[in-house]
Amino acid sequence: MSGLLVRAATLLDGRRVDVRVRGDRVVEVGPHLDRDGEEVLDGRGGTLLPGLVDHHLHLHALAAAELSVRCGPPAVTTAAELRRALTAAPTGGDGWVRGTGYAESVAGDLDAAALDRLHAARPVRVQHRSGALWTVNSAGTALLDLAGAPHPGVERDADGRPTGRLWRADDWLRSRLGGSGLPDLAGIGRRLTRLGITAVTDATPDLTPAAVRALAAARAAGDLPQAVHLLGAPLGTVLPAELTAGPLKIVLADSGLPDLEALVERIRGAHAAGRPVAVHVVTREALALLLAALDLAGGLVGDRIEHGALVPAGIVADLARRGLRVVTQPGFLADRGDDYLRDVPAADHEDLYRAASLVVGGVPLALSSDAPYGPLDPWRVVAAAVDRRTRSGAVVAPAERLDADTALAAYLAPTGDPGGLPREVVPGAAADLVLLDGAPRDVLADPAAGRVRAVTVGGRLAHAR
């Protein structure tokens, strides 16, 4: 009889058990189970968890970033280093040099002229680390014919000339570059699996039919073994069986907040279609706008805030009262915390990426990466939620630290219930499992990707070392 028997594993509650898997389900959990013809995986006392869920990332952007030159910290920290990186970068199949992760601390605000001074010989496009902005040099400006481009994200100077800066224009840019522009996802599937991630929520807004088809094809082919939940599937989209739809993603862009009435109508439209909303909120102004819109549109169970980068203390109780949940990314503190401490007013530091006060205040909290814009490694994100340390060792809002159990649990809730009860290894549960080196106390004291020893997805052994 086929199946898998995990021997001598330790659950988070400290019990030493064997776990029997049949098909895609856990069917038995208990001590000293008899083998019944299954493949045996020796747990050696290591910790056995349900597979982790990254509740907010961007799959195609993550795959594209793997093929791009890094243009920001820690790989690149000065203009001279950026110039060398762009010069050494290979030309992509589309004839461009593609860079990601740019931060103003490297060479200031980029436009076409500034990028020309760094690399003018080939068309270059560089994405800001926020993911909201692309900058192209003069060669790229000419190739894209930005002078005649009708897209509203094409920034222009006082004389109407394009600056080389493109705001939230990913789909338009992809169409101008030719081809599908969608990278292969097999490498990302393997990388996620090695990290112990068995399900993801793709938070890319306004997904095109081509993007949806590509995600479904990657799932069907097994290139992307993770379950995939979509926030960006437009209303009315009939999804293939390989994908599920979540709340509707709405972006309240820092570069230009929408009109209140328009936001209210969009929220009402989503709710009327039976979908909650997942709203990108980074600034205080965006948060205030969202709450005002929900006052008019009403709420729906499952409405969520993405990021919540700045949440005033006085708002926490209001979020709980409304039943809003928050999907946040403490990994940004480890990755960019020093920049926040330098650039964000000191009076706002306690409001940055709140966590503990949300949990105590009754706001459901899920953790995620926002990869490729934040660090993908969930164990690094868990550690960041616990210590909230920047690269330099400074601590951001220490009162917002989570204990390790709570931080890990925020990666264990189902995709459809971020911030809900963590999944457990029990009979009837999906056989998406992660076996880690070390007992639970060791894992919680030192969460690290290097501890991942084996991963099953749908009952099949997808990674082992």
Residues 408 and 360 in one domain: yes
Within a domain: residue 354? yes
- Evaluate whether residue 63 is within a structural domain: no
Closest C-alpha to 294, from 417, 414, 302? 302
Q: What is the token pair recorded at 262?
A: 């328009």
d(CA 54, CA 366): 9
pLDDT, tens digit (0-9, with 9 covering 90-100), for 201-247: 999 999 999 999 999 999 999 999 999 999 999 999 999 999 999 99
Asked if residue 160 and residue 39 are part of one domain, the reply reads: no
In this structure, the answer to whether residues 292 and 165 fall within a common structural domain is no
User: How buried is residue 30: exposed, middle or buried, by Cβ count under 10 Å (0-12/13-18/19+)?
Assistant: exposed
pTM of the entire structure?
Answer: 0.92
**Which of 177, 195, 211 is at the close of a domain?**
177
SS3 assignment, position 326 = strand
Strand pairing class (154-156; 133-136): unpaired
Separation of first and last alpha carbons in the chain: 25
Is residue 31 domain-shared with residue 123, that is, in the same domain? no
Q: Which of 248, 131, 252, 269 is nearest to 201 (CA)?
A: 248
Name the H helices within 281-435: 284-297, 316-322, 331-343, 356-360, 378-387, 404-409
Question: What are the tokens at 453?
Answer: 């020893």
Which CATH number does the domain housing residue 350 bear? 3.20.20.140
191 and 312 part of one domain: yes
Residues 350 and 223 occupy one common structural domain: yes
Written as one letter, the residue type at 393 is G
Each residue's pLDDT tens digit in the chain (465 positions)?
Answer: 579 999 999 999 999 999 999 999 999 999 999 998 899 999 999 999 999 999 999 999 999 998 899 999 989 999 999 999 999 999 988 899 999 999 999 999 999 999 999 999 999 999 999 888 999 999 999 999 999 999 999 999 999 999 999 998 888 888 888 755 689 999 999 999 999 999 999 999 999 999 999 999 999 999 999 999 999 999 999 999 999 999 999 999 887 899 999 999 999 999 999 999 999 999 999 999 999 999 999 999 999 999 999 999 999 999 999 999 999 999 999 999 999 999 999 999 999 999 999 999 999 999 999 999 999 999 999 999 999 999 999 999 999 999 999 999 999 999 999 999 999 999 999 999 999 999 999 999 999 999 999 999 999 999 998
Question: What span, in angstroms and rounded, lies between the C-alpha atoms of 377 and 368?
Answer: 9
Round to whole Å and give the CA distance between 220 and 242.
7
Domain span including residue 446: 1-51+425-465
Is position 302 within any domain?
yes
Q: What 3-state class would DSSP assign to 126?
A: strand
Same domain, 397 and 433: no
Looking at 145, 162, 177, the residue that finishes a domain is 177
96 and 226 together in one domain: no
In a domain, 207, yes or no: yes
